Every structure is written in structure tokens, then in C-alpha cells.
Structure 1
Amino acid sequence: MAQSTSHVQLLNAHDQSKVQIGNNYYNDSNHDRCITDLRLTDPRDDKERIQDTKGGLLRDSYSWVLNHDNFQRWRDDPQSLLLWIKGDPGKGKTMLLCGIIDELKKERDNCLSYFFCQATEEKLSNATAVLRGLIYLLVVQQPSLIWHVREKHDHAGRSLFEDSNAWYALRGILIAILKDPALKGTVIIIDALDECVTGLPELLKFIIEQSSLTSRVKWIVSSRNWQDIEEKLGRTKQKVRLQLELNQDSISKAVDIYIGCKVKELADLKNYDKETRDAVQRHLVGNADGTFLWVALVCKDLADSKAARKRHTLSKLKSFPPGLDPLYARMIEQISISDDTDICKEILAIASVVYRPITLEELKVLVELLEEDDYNDLPQIIKACGSFLTLREGVIYFVHQSAKDFLINKASDQILPSGTAHQHYALFSRSLGALSKTLRQVNDILRDNGNVHGFIQEKYLYWLECLGLLRSMSEGVKAVHKLEALVKNAEAQQLTKLLRDARRFILSNRRPIEIAPLQAYTSALVFSPEHSLIRELFKKEEPGWMILKPRMEADWNACL
């Protein structure tokens, strides 16, 4: 297919079942499935979550970068294709990029694609996920680009994005998209390269290669001051470097604005008088050292504090040392003298080694010291873990990657005294213990007139409708095949017979139900054999408006 002919045209307005892309025709349901399979996470939602978790985005705290010579050079010079924003932890790089995204959105000609790497979440911390997120936003904004994905996805399905060759497949797809003449002027933004735990060298190589090819595509990346990132990106010729430590005046002014906002919130919450408010603001300005995160952590501690009197507030304020690491060390000291010291340290140890953020329900299983009476107090116990952790919608996150780094690298003797491997084994052991409480022998449920038998008899057709709505008919087919094999071993004759019919039913009707899930109650039933067990069980669901129904064969085709 010639790239210059890339376009999308909807055919057959009645059922909207075909899409023409270039000279090829695709089934529209496969188009939707492709988008669904491609989406691992929506970076737009990640951005909203990050902004919300960090207390909202202040334009005055990032607007300085818009007038910075290096940013304007990147924006206006067609030869400056890569802007690299680098700085130490807590300097506001992520929120800076959130602000830049909002400003670039105002320029209607821009197609924006971005991704926020987060080492604390597995699906946001690998190079393959980065490419998936970037491609997803590009094809959502410019649907004609989907054919680059569909060419491979129509043959491979979801495994295209998940198997051992996923990086290479996605890299090829994104390269093809970036070369497509139909692609609008595009800005690609990747935040926190240092938090790409898996595949960072490959991702850096990709960025270096692609960011030097065309002025139609410009790049912005951010990272900490890491030597290995410096060595690779430092060789790029068409880049503009913006180092936050070299812009201390601008950063300090932005932090001062942020402090003003946080102090106002504190004053309203704690009913500070003007003298207390001014004293808090002076102390924060004098000790922040251009670090947004330090201010956020101190203000959170003050907000959670029960100190009511002015002298108590000021005394507590002076106990916070300048700098992130000293502040983290103080938090560990406070935990060590608290009533919940052991359970807090165990929770921090668990959070430090798990590969994704865990929920409160999961934590209940994993914390050995947690009694059943403590379950309702768990949110309060999380709050007692200094300010290392934050709880959002029932999920426990580190407040910042630097907090996790500190626990592992500088406080492991207190949090992980027996080592990381021992902690992994402890979690493994407790997980097995939890499973053993609910596991049942498979033969206990795979029997005639058991739970599974009842489900197939009463809910099977409704389950197929749900599979259709979820675009998951293929997974349903595999599940029925697997279940049928298990039941054969269990020697349940009636259930085996029913599952054989259920397998034939789903194989025969998967396409109609996938395209239009409500066909489960119409064509799937009336075009099934007269003696189909599923048809007989759900005869009441056959359409009443159909007076004359087709006469079908007695049994299924032997090929099914």
C-alpha cells in the first residue's frame, strides 16, 4: 500500500462493518479490537492521575520554561529536534512536562503523543510500554495511521504487543508512522527516562535515531542526571539541553510560588494567624533549595499534624532538615519511635519489593503482623508510614521514586534487615498461604450438577454477550476448550456433553457475537441445530417477533 494514499473511509453506512484504509478493506470490529489490544494504559489518564496526586498543576510554577531561550530555540528552530530536560529528584520535571503538554495543546496544528515512565508501576516502567503508549495516542488522534498497526495485528492479535518480539514489532510500527507523509506535525514527549527499568538502552537508541530524521516530528524527554543517559543523549547533535540546576533562579521563583499556594492551603486548614502563616512561609522558602518535593512532603506532614498552638507548629517546622535524603532519614526516625513501628516497617518493606502498586485488600494478606482487628485502621497505618506512601482509590503508591530509592539504598538495614531476597520469599510464602485457604480440588466443582454445570446451564448465553462486548471472544473459546479438557478427566458425563455443545456453539457464532453482541439472542440461537443443548436451554431467549424460523439440521456439523 502506498503511504501517500493512506486514508480512512467508512463504507456501508447501514451496518458500518467495513473500513477502507488505502487500497485495503478491514472489518470495523477488528479496527476497534486493534485499538483495545494496543491500549495498555491511556497516557492522558496517567497525566491526570499524576497531577491530582501531586496536588494540581500551577501555571505560574512552570510558565518560566515557556520563555526560556532553550525552549524557544527548540520550538522555533527546525534543526533543533530534541529538548532534553534534566535535573535532580524533586525538582519538578514531571509537572514541568505536564505544563508544557498543556501549552502545546493550545497550538491546534500539533499532534501530541506522550508517556510518563514510573518505576513503581510495572506497566509504566519498560520500553515496550512506552512505544505502546505513544502509538496509542497517535492513532487515537489521527485514525488514518491505524493501518500501520492493523497490517500486523490482523494476523497476530494481541500477542503482537505482548510476546518476546513486541519491542521489535512496535518499533517498526512507530518508525513507519513517523515516516508516513500523512502524519501531522507531531511532538513526542517522554518523561522520566531514568524510571524506564526494562529496555532503557534500546529506548535511548531509538530516541537518538528517530529524533534526527525529520523536522515534522520534535521530541522532549526528561531524566535525572544519570551518567549512562548522559553518555548516550550527550552525543546527539540536534538537541537542546535544559539543565534545571543551571536555572536555579527560575526554579527558586517557581518553588516560591508553589510554597505560597501550599501555605495558603495550610493556613485555611489549620486556621493559622498571619504571624504563623508568615513564619511557615519564611522557613519553607529558606530551606526548600529549589526542591518542590521537599516542600510537598513538609506541608503534608504539617497538614497531618495534630499540633494546634503556634509554638508547636513552629517547633515542628524547624525539625524538618533541608534536603530530601535528610528529610527521608528523619521520617525513618519518626517511624522507629512510633507505636506502629514494626508494622510500618513491614509495610514499607513490602512496598519496596513488589513489582506494582498493591491494594489495601492485597496488603491485608501480605502483612504478617496485621491482625483482623487492624483491617479498618489500615489507611491510618499507611498514613503513619511517614510520607513515604500515599493512598489513592484503595491503591498504595510511593510518594515519589526517590522515596523508594532511599529505602532500598540508604535504609535497607532498617526496612529490609534480612535482605531483598528474604522479603521476596516471605511474600511468596504468605501468598501461597492465602491461596491455600480458598483453593479447592478441581474435581469437587467439575462434576455433574455442580457449580460449573449450573453456570453453563443458566448463564452461558449471557456470558457470551459479555465476551462480545469486551471484544474477548477468542479468550472465551480458549477457556471453553480448556474447561472441556478438564471435565473429561473428571469423568462428568452430562457436563462433558454440555461443554461439547457449548464449544460448538461458541465456535459457530463467535464472529456474529463479536460484531454485534446481541446476536447471541437472535442469529446464534435460531441458526443453531434443532438439538443443540445450548439452544434448548435458552429457548426462552429466542426472538418472539420471528414468526417463521429457519429449519435447521438436527445436530452440529462434524467439523466443529
Structure 2
Amino acid sequence: MNATFVGETQASVADELLLTTWIGTDPRTDGMRKPVVSGTCQWLCRKPLWGLWLNGGLPAPFLITGASGSGKSSLVSFVVQELATSSPQPVLYYSFSETWGPAYCSLEQCLISILVQIRPHDCGTARSAVRDLLGKKKAHYPDIHHCPYPELLGLVEQVLKHYPAYCLIIDGLDSCVTDRPSFYQFLTNVSARNTVAVMATCRNAESLGSCAKPTLDLETCVEERRQDLEIFVRHAVRRQMDVEPEQHPTWLQTIVHNTLAHSQDSFLHAKLLVDLFHDRSTLREILEVISRAGRCYNAYYEQILQSSDAKLRDSLSRIERRQNILRLLAVAQEPLTLKQINEFLAAKDDVLMSNEDDFVLNIAKEVEELCGSFVTIASSHRVTFFHATAKDFFVKRFWAAGDEANLYLARKCLYVLSQPSYRHPDTAAKLLRQHLMPRELKSANLDDDSPSPAYRYAALYFYRHVTTLSSPPSDLVSRLGRFLQGTEFVTWSEFTFEFKPQNGFGTQIDAQSSLSKWSATLPPADQRDIQMDQYFVTAHILLSSILGDDSNNGVLQYLPRMRLGDFLNAAGQSMKDLEDAYKQKQIVFNGLSALLPEKDPFLLQAKASLLQEYFWQKRYSEALHKLRRLYELQKEVDGISPDARFVTAWMIAAALIALGQYAEAETIISETLEQVRELYTEKYRFFNTLLLLDGTRLERVNDLVKAAATYSAALETMTEISGPDNTFVYILRTALGAVQRKRGDYVLAEENLLKGWGGRQITSNISVNACLDAALQLAALYRDKGDTAECLKLLDSVHRSTVFEDDFERNCQLVHIRNLARFEEGEYATAKHSLIELVNSATGKDRERNNRELLWVRIDLADVMRQHGDEAGEALMLFSELVIPITPTEIQDEPEMPAQLEIAERALRLVRNAQFAESEDLLQREGLRWLRPADFYFLIQGGPALDTSVIAPVKIGEAKQIA
């Protein structure tokens, strides 16, 4: 085998491993299928529909309907079992079971399970095609659970097209909590091929949309179901009563006959009725049970519960344990394992106690004895209610629609998360070292202290249980407050990176959002206990202080602050959050600089993180100088990843664009694009991030044709990789729409800007500058194309954004566009006064507030004033304080002469037209220079930020009559 082939094979194996890791390997469908009693369901194979379906003769899914307990799930299990033994093609199966919790009633989990099941059947052309499809998604989404449902649906449909034949069986469609009609349409689409057989069950076809029509209604199969029911009951009675037919044939027949007569043709009724026979020894006792049995499910459950209580009457502790187990199962977000149940039962409020002392020695036996009539234990040791009606009975019977059960599990989760081992500062510090520090700085003897199964559940779901409580008791509020402010919170935060390694801060941000909304509904005293305004901050600073006092390693104390700075930047919703992120990163960098050499990888990591914060501060010149030095060091130090260097190169180019140094920015972007292309191909997300930046550069030099082409290329690639409903795609649409506005392509511009603005509203809110930018871009388009009413309406809808309180330049954009629209509405005096007031707010002692937007305000306002016939000198005064003599003169403090103002205006108009060299030449010839180069700095942070250097001319409307 030659070396090239070996390398290709190794790469292929590596790719397969990465994709398998990305999708996952455990569909967790074990235990979902109902056991099939031998001899039942075989009538289906004798139906003409069966052969028609198997041979691709049905134009839609084989849809089986029937009431709860009519045997749909058993029929599906039979089909899966039959096909698995008789059909050579893959058999894919999923059940939407309410007993498995919300996480398993989503279409996302179903689709992921389908991918997990179909992947082992890759072969030939399917292997490379499927790998390519999945690779495109993987290039953008850190793991498949991040892929939005519409994209995931399309991805699975594309993947399935590459398999020549398969059977897809979906049980319980009406228990799905997401978009059932679109999923049924998906099933219809994939079943159109005559080599694909699709089957689905539901109680009511109407819940699947207008196109869903039952193929087989079990209510019409009376005789077939009764035959199956008799076999089922006979089997259940013999198993429950241990009755041998040859010993008591008459007794057995009598019990079966009476059970069938009382079962209402329902398998569920029959099953529950037979459960009532337990511990009945004589035929008379059994017949009495049948005669007293109720006619609804709840009556059966009540009788089974009473029977269980009677057996346990001498052991109140076991009755309580049964209730607690059922509590856990009733509201669990996903099926709990036996180990998790055991840990949660043992968890105590007094975390100093050894919870292990309270573990049940044989938890499987205990669950079976206490809850066996109500639950099922799968082969993976996951425990669920055996039927949704059982879960519903206990929730309504004991726990006020789940509130009390959620309170119980919320307490247990917080107890587990706050155990002494997780509260200990060393645990949090060790996790921070593992996640943040380069390999060479990690301790060689770190123990692998994996968290317990119950901890994993509690970490992922504690806040979901907490936030269901409308009136939480004081002990829970206090416990939650201590957790959020203690070192155990840092441990929790770090473990979430291990439970969902590609999720970034997703879990922490989701918890913050949920808890913040919930906390706002509580009394003020409870809000003070929880302190959501200090979420993430208090705990990390506390740990930093502890490590600073107790640690012999000076570096450790900075790890919590490094994590805090990154979180505040990622989750920040205000300028204050960004300022706090900068302060934390500055503390880290200054502290590490005193401890580590300049080329230390960890110090370089901290430096890169700090320099990112320079952009929202507009410290572009300073950032550029330090980034260049950082880039050189990154190239010299072994172990620095290419991605880290690419990000630094991006920041250098971004700083150059902000400073107006476009030629050098073009060189750096071009070189980095080539490096990324060579290493990752053009389908890599960061390659397209660079294209977005290059489009920004092209816009600045008014090369709008190339800018549009660049944005379009990135948009096409990212839509292919990520689908249309993706944050980066929304950004690219906004960027492309902005260029189309500048070029006068208003129809295309509106389509893209509307999609960009609509998408950003889904993922964030108007108090996030990137979302606000999308709105301002759209408002500028409405103004340019003459739809001033829509422009003003949109600006009115966003004017309360908190961004305007801290960001003067974006506030100038709002005022600028609003008053251009007012000019065209005939409100000349009001608009003129507003814009003059805006310009004056950045002159004299406030001159440092001047910005790029105000430069274009000056030009637009001057044009309108001259068009309106105002005094010429008044318009010319708008260009004061822009230029000064290169060589200071004695009269430089005197009012500027009109000739200097005229030169300033001409030079500014040249800049607006991207004639930068001509502008500089003019000023040089006249012995002048710009007073403040920072006036021309372009907004890089957020975005794509609005650029009004290119804008439609103002048409003054007729003056409005004042009543």
C-alpha cells in the first residue's frame, strides 16, 4: 500500500470519526418499542395493503390511526420486528412517546435518531455523498443539536435520497411537540420513491394537516383486533397468575372471557385489568376484581395504587419512596436511568452528609417492586412510565399538573449540584485549567473525576425545573441564590463545556435567559436573593479571590476572570457588559504579564482576547500596533493553532479598514484567504467571514459591483452549508442588501434587508447593536426609495433601543435618517433644527464626539439648505472644525475664513466619493490637514453597520401646514 493511499485512508477514517462524533452514536430508542406477544398482529401481513405498501404502491405514508390503547404501538413493533428479520433493507424506527420527556418528543431528536440509524448503512456512492452533506453542516454547526429544525429536516431528506431502499417507521406522531404538518409532508416526500416504505401511527390524522388521510383505521378492524386481544389477554393472564392451561383450562377460559368482556376492545384496558389480578389466588377473587373494575383508565390506576398501598401499609418509607420515584419520572426532561434515580433519591439538603449511605442497594428490584405496574425499565436501565395515561394520572392525582413534582426535582438538582466535591475551589480550578490552559501548563497528575450521572442531568436541566414554578418557596430561592453565587456555579459552568463540548456558552446563556425572565416575575426580596444582575460575575470573582489567597500558582487566580471576560463579551446585552468584559480581560493580561514571558502561549491567548475589546472602543491605531506584534509572536511560538493566527490576521485587516488603510488590508485579507482555502477549503465558515470583511473593504472604496459579488459568493456558500435560517446568513443578507441599496437595486435590497432584519429579531433584540444595525439598514433603504412613512415607522419601533444611550454614532445614524425623511415629508424647519443641533453637540468642548456619520450629516444638510435657498454662509459654517493648518499660525484660534471652510467641504466630498488621494492632495496644496483623523473611523463592531456615505439625494417636500 503506497503512502498516498495510506494517508487518504487515514484521512477518510478521521473524517468518519469526526462525523460520527458530530451526529452521535446513541439514538436512545431502546425501550421505546412495545413487546409483541407471539401470534398477534399477523393479520396485517394478510391485508392487501401490506403488499401494496411494501412494493411501493402507496403514494403516501401507510398511516395507521386508532384510539389510545387500540394497539397501534404493538402493531408498529411487530412491523419493525418482521421487517428486521425478512427485509434486507435498513429499518429505521422512532417513537414519539410522552413518557420519555420533552427532549424525545421533538422532531429534532427524531431526525437525529434517523441519521444515527442510517449511517452504518453507508456504502459506495452513498458514503462520499452523505459525508459531504454532513460535512457541510459540520463546518458551521459545532454539533448536530445546534442545527435548526428546518435545516435539519432538509438535511435528513437529502441524506435519505442517497439510500436506494429503506423502511421508515414512526410511532405516535400526534405526541410530537413541534411542527407535525411539515414533518408529515417530509414523510410524504420520502415515501414517493417506490423503493421506500414509510409507516406512521397517530390517534387523529387531523393533527397532521389537511393532506393526511388514514390508510388503515384500527377502529374498523374489529375482528382482527379481538383475535389479537384474546391472544394478548391469555398470554398476560398466564404470565401474571402462573396458570398452566392443562391444569385449569376452565378457569383460564373464564378469566380470559370476563377480561375481554370488560376491556372495551382496548389492549390498555386489558393490560391494566390483568395487573389488578396480582396477588389474587382464587377464581372468585379474580372475578370480583373484574366486576368491580372501573371503565376509565384513571379508575384502573386508582385501584392498582390502592392495591400497592395495601401491600406497603407496614412500610411508610417505601410508599414515600414510590411516590418520589414517580415524581422524578413525571417531569424528567429525558428518561432517567436507575443510577440517576438512586442518586436523586439519596440527595439531601444537608450536603455534608454522605448521600451514598442512603443509596438503595438493589435499585432495579426496588423500582420493579414499588412501581412495576406503572413503569417500564429498558435494557439501557432507563425508566419511564409504561404509558402516557399513567403519567397523566399521577401528575393530576398528586402534583397539581406537575408543579409539586417540578419543585421536588428542582430541589434535588440543586442539592446534587451543590455537593461538597463540586463546591470545593480545587474542583472548579482543575476544570478551568483543563479547558483554558495550553497543554504544556496542565498538571500531569490531574485525576479524571467524572461527574455522577445525576449531576449530568441536573447540570443540563436544573433551570428548566426551577422556572416552571410560579411561586417558589423560600428555601428553593435561597438554595438557588447560593448556587448562582458560589464556587459550585463555576464547576457547573465548566462541566457544561464537557457535556456539550461544541456548545460554547450556549447552556450558560440559555440558563441566564430563562432564569432572568422567571426571576423578573418574583417578589423583590426573592429577586435580591437570586441576584440575576450578577449572574456569572459573583461566582467567578469569588473563586478568583479564593485562588489568589490560597494558591501557590499565581496564574490560577486569573482563570476565572478570563472565563468571565469571555462570557460577558459573548452574552453581553449592553455597553456596560462590554466595558466589564474589557476590565476583566485587562486584569488578566496585566496579571499574567507580570508572571509569564512574552512568548508564553497562555499570555498570547490572553493578549488576543484583550485586543478584541479594542474594536468597540474604536482604539484602532493602538490595536493595529499590538496586533502586528501578536501576529509575529504567534508565528514564532510552537503549538499556536492556525485558527488563532487567522483570527489575529482578521483583526489586523479590520483595524486597517477602520483606519482607511485599504490597500494593506486587501493584501492581508488576500493572503489569509489563500491560507484558509488551502487548509480548510472555501466551505469553511472562517473563509466566508473573511469574505464578509473583504466586502466591507470594497464598500469603503465604492467598488460596489465587486462588493456585491463577494457578499453573494459568501451568502451562497453559507446558505448551502447552514441553510437560510442562520445568524451568519442573516448578516450576509444585510450586507448584500446594503450594497444593493447603494446601487439603486431597491427590489433586491428590500428582499435581503427584510430577511436580515427578520432573522436578527429571532436571534436577538434591538438592544443588541448587530440587531439594531439591521433595522437601520432597512430604514435607510425605505428612505432612499421614497417610502418615508415606512422609514419613520421602523425608526419609531427601534428608537427605545438601549444601544442609543451609549453609542453616539449609532444615535447620529438614527437622527440623520429620520430627518432626511422629514425633509421629504415637508418638515424642513424641524429637520434642519434637529440636524444642526446634532452637529453642534459634537463641536467646541465636545469636539471629540465627532464621528463618520456626522461628516455626511454636514454634507446632506448643506445640500438641503442651499436647495431651500438659505443663506450661503450658514451652510458653509457646517464645515468648521474639520481642518487646521499643517503649520500652526498665530491666528489659528480665530474664526475660520470662508476659503478654509470651502476647502474643508471640497476635501470631505472627495472622501465621500472614495477619492482619498485627491482629497489628501487638495489639503496638502492648501497647507491643511484633517483636525482629527478619528472622525473617519468606520464602525467595525456589530453590524454590518449602516454606511450613509452613499445615499439617495434629498428631495425637499412641500412644507406642511401648521394648524
TM-score relative to the length of structure 2: 0.41
2:60 equivalent to 1:92: no
**Whole-Å Cα distance in 2 between the matches of residues 462 and 256 of structure 1?**
54
Q: Are the equivalent residues in 1 in contact too, given 2:298–2:393 (CA < 8 A)?
A: yes
Q: Which residue of the partner structure matches residue 321 of structure 1?
A: 294
**Whole-Å Cα distance in 2 between the matches of residues 204 and 354 of structure 1?**
27
2:265 equivalent to 1:290: yes
**Whole-Å Cα distance in 1 between the matches of residues 501 and 106 of structure 2?**
25
Amino acid at match of 1:383: E
Q: Which residue of the partner structure matches residue 202 of structure 2?
A: 223
Q: Which residue of the partner structure matches residue 631 of structure 2?
A: none
Amino acid at match of 2:234: G
Q: Are the equivalent residues in 1 in contact too, given 2:36–2:78 (CA < 8 A)?
A: yes
Structure 1 pair 80–136 and aligned structure 2 pair: CA distance change class (3 A):
same
Q: Which residue of the partner structure matches residue 361 of structure 1?
A: 342
2:118 equivalent to 1:138: yes
2:231 equivalent to 1:257: yes
Q: Are the equivalent residues in 2 in contact too, given 1:276–1:310 (CA < 8 A)?
A: yes
**By how many angstroms is 1:126 displaced?**
0.8
**By how many angstroms is 1:251 displaced?**
0.7
**Whole-Å Cα distance in 2 between the matches of residues 11 and 99 of structure 1?**
50
**Whole-Å Cα distance in 1 between the matches of residues 241 and 132 of structure 2?**
54
Q: Which residue of the partner structure matches residue 135 of structure 2?
A: 151
Q: Which residue of the partner structure matches residue 151 of structure 2?
A: 169
**Whole-Å Cα distance in 2 between the matches of residues 477 and 494 of structure 1?**
30
Q: Which residue of the partner structure matches residue 431 of structure 1?
A: 413
Q: Secondary structure at the match of 1:260?
A: helix
Q: Secondary structure at the match of 1:27?
A: helix
Q: Secondary structure at the match of 2:193?
A: coil
**Whole-Å Cα distance in 2 between the matches of residues 477 and 200 of structure 1?**
27
Q: Are the equivalent residues in 2 in contact too, given 1:135–1:174 (CA < 8 A)?
A: yes
2:18 equivalent to 1:38: no
**Whole-Å Cα distance in 2 between the matches of residues 119 and 50 of structure 1?**
11
Q: Which residue of the partner structure matches residue 72 of structure 1?
A: 51
Q: Are the equivalent residues in 2 in contact too, given 1:17–1:29 (CA < 8 A)?
A: no
> Structure 1 or 2: larger helix share?
2
**By how many angstroms is 1:254 displaced?**
0.9
Q: Are the equivalent residues in 1 in contact too, given 2:115–2:156 (CA < 8 A)?
A: yes
**By how many angstroms is 1:261 displaced?**
2.3
Query: How do 1:101-140 residues align onto structure 2 when only pairs under 5 Å count?
Result: 101-106=80-85, 108=87, 110-121=89-100, 122-140=102-120
Structure 1 pair 366–321 and aligned structure 2 pair: CA distance change class (3 A):
farther
**Whole-Å Cα distance in 1 between the matches of residues 219 and 271 of structure 2?**
19
Query: How do 1:407-422 residues align onto structure 2 when only pairs under 5 Å count?
Result: 407-408=394-395, 412=396, 414-417=397-400, 419-422=401-404
Amino acid at match of 1:397: T
Q: Are the equivalent residues in 2 in contact too, given 1:148–1:173 (CA < 8 A)?
A: no
Residue by residue, what CA displacement relative to the aligned partner does 1:110-132 show, whole Å, maximum 9, x if unpaired?
Answer: 34322222222244321011111
**Whole-Å Cα distance in 2 between the matches of residues 461 and 400 of structure 1?**
39
**By how many angstroms is 1:398 displaced?**
0.1
Structure 1 pair 456–495 and aligned structure 2 pair: CA distance change class (3 A):
farther
Residue by residue, what CA displacement relative to the aligned partner does 1:323-358 show, whole Å, maximum 9, x if unpaired?
Answer: 534322433454666635555445434322222233
**Whole-Å Cα distance in 2 between the matches of residues 42 and 477 of structure 1?**
19
Which structure's relative contact order is higher, taking Cα pairs within 8 Å and 6+ residues apart? Answer: 1
**Whole-Å Cα distance in 2 between the matches of residues 429 and 201 of structure 1?**
38
Gap regions ≥5 residues in structure 1: 1-9, 20-25, 464-471, 480-484, 501-531, 533-554
Q: Secondary structure at the match of 1:190?
A: strand
Amino acid at match of 2:26: T
**Whole-Å Cα distance in 2 between the matches of residues 278 and 132 of structure 1?**
47
Structure 1 pair 40–87 and aligned structure 2 pair: CA distance change class (3 A):
farther
Residue by residue, what CA displacement relative to the aligned partner does 1:222-246 show, whole Å, maximum 9, x if unpaired?
Answer: 11236423xx1x524xx66111111
> Structure 1 or 2: larger strand share?
1
**By how many angstroms is 1:11 displaced?**
9.2
Q: Are the equivalent residues in 2 in contact too, given 1:301–1:387 (CA < 8 A)?
A: no
Indicate the larger mover: 309-318 or 92-101: 309-318
Q: Secondary structure at the match of 2:390?
A: helix
Residue by residue, what CA displacement relative to the aligned partner does 1:237-296 show, whole Å, maximum 9, x if unpaired?
Answer: xx6611111111111101112223223334546897344323322222322333223333
Say what the alpha-carbon RMSD is for the aligned residues: 4.6
Q: Which residue of the partner structure matches residue 180 of structure 2?
A: 200
Identify the match of residue 14 of structure 2 among 23, 26, 29. Answer: 29
Query: How do 1:507-546 residues align onto structure 2 when only pairs under 5 Å count?
Result: none
Q: Secondary structure at the match of 2:112?
A: helix
Q: Which residue of the partner structure matches residue 244 of structure 1?
A: 218
**By how many angstroms is 1:151 displaced?**
3.0
2:376 equivalent to 1:383: no
Structure 1 pair 257–210 and aligned structure 2 pair: CA distance change class (3 A):
same
Structure 1 pair 416–557 and aligned structure 2 pair: CA distance change class (3 A):
same
Q: Are the equivalent residues in 2 in contact too, given 1:91–1:293 (CA < 8 A)?
A: yes
Identify the match of residue 9 of structure 2 among 15, 18, 21. Answer: 18
Amino acid at match of 2:95: F
**Whole-Å Cα distance in 1 between the matches of residues 414 and 448 of structure 2?**
34
2:430 equivalent to 1:456: no
**Whole-Å Cα distance in 2 between the matches of residues 313 and 444 of structure 1?**
62
**By how many angstroms is 1:298 displaced?**
3.4
**By how many angstroms is 1:400 displaced?**
1.0
**By how many angstroms is 1:88 displaced?**
1.4
Q: Are the equivalent residues in 2 in contact too, given 1:74–1:81 (CA < 8 A)?
A: no
**By how many angstroms is 1:416 displaced?**
1.5
**By how many angstroms is 1:74 displaced?**
2.7
Residue by residue, what CA displacement relative to the aligned partner does 1:342-390 show, whole Å, maximum 9, x if unpaired?
Answer: 554454343222222333314414799x997794586547634472224
**By how many angstroms is 1:403 displaced?**
1.5
Structure 1 pair 246–478 and aligned structure 2 pair: CA distance change class (3 A):
closer
**Whole-Å Cα distance in 2 between the matches of residues 200 and 40 of structure 1?**
25
Residue by residue, what CA displacement relative to the aligned partner does 1:20-58 show, whole Å, maximum 9, x if unpaired?
Answer: xxxxxx532121221233136337xx35x345xx5x423
Q: Are the equivalent residues in 2 in contact too, given 1:81–1:215 (CA < 8 A)?
A: no
Structure 1 pair 148–125 and aligned structure 2 pair: CA distance change class (3 A):
farther
Residue by residue, what CA displacement relative to the aligned partner does 1:385-443 show, whole Å, maximum 9, x if unpaired?
Answer: 472224456543101122213334xxx2x3114x5334323432343234334255553
Q: Are the equivalent residues in 2 in contact too, given 1:289–1:323 (CA < 8 A)?
A: no
Aligned residues: 456
**By how many angstroms is 1:63 displaced?**
0.8
Indicate the larger mover: 350-359 or 243-252: 350-359
- Percent identical across equivalent pairs? 15
Amino acid at match of 2:107: A
Q: Are the equivalent residues in 2 in contact too, given 1:82–1:240 (CA < 8 A)?
A: no
Amino acid at match of 2:342: E
Residue by residue, what CA displacement relative to the aligned partner does 1:67-118 show, whole Å, maximum 9, x if unpaired?
Answer: 1233333334635331101111222212211221233345545343222222
Q: Are the equivalent residues in 1 in contact too, given 2:62–2:199 (CA < 8 A)?
A: yes
Gap regions ≥5 residues in structure 2: 350-354, 451-497, 506-539, 560-599, 601-635, 642-963
2:638 equivalent to 1:557: yes
Q: Are the equivalent residues in 2 in contact too, given 1:88–1:224 (CA < 8 A)?
A: yes
**By how many angstroms is 1:455 displaced?**
9.2
Q: Are the equivalent residues in 1 in contact too, given 2:56–2:196 (CA < 8 A)?
A: no
Q: Which residue of the partner structure matches residue 473 of structure 2?
A: none
Structure 1 pair 556–496 and aligned structure 2 pair: CA distance change class (3 A):
farther
Amino acid at match of 1:435: L
**Whole-Å Cα distance in 2 between the matches of residues 425 and 282 of structure 1?**
45
Structure 1 pair 71–329 and aligned structure 2 pair: CA distance change class (3 A):
farther
**By how many angstroms is 1:197 displaced?**
2.5
**Whole-Å Cα distance in 2 between the matches of residues 184 and 474 of structure 1?**
34
Structure 1 pair 11–39 and aligned structure 2 pair: CA distance change class (3 A):
farther
Amino acid at match of 1:296: K
Q: Secondary structure at the match of 1:197?
A: coil
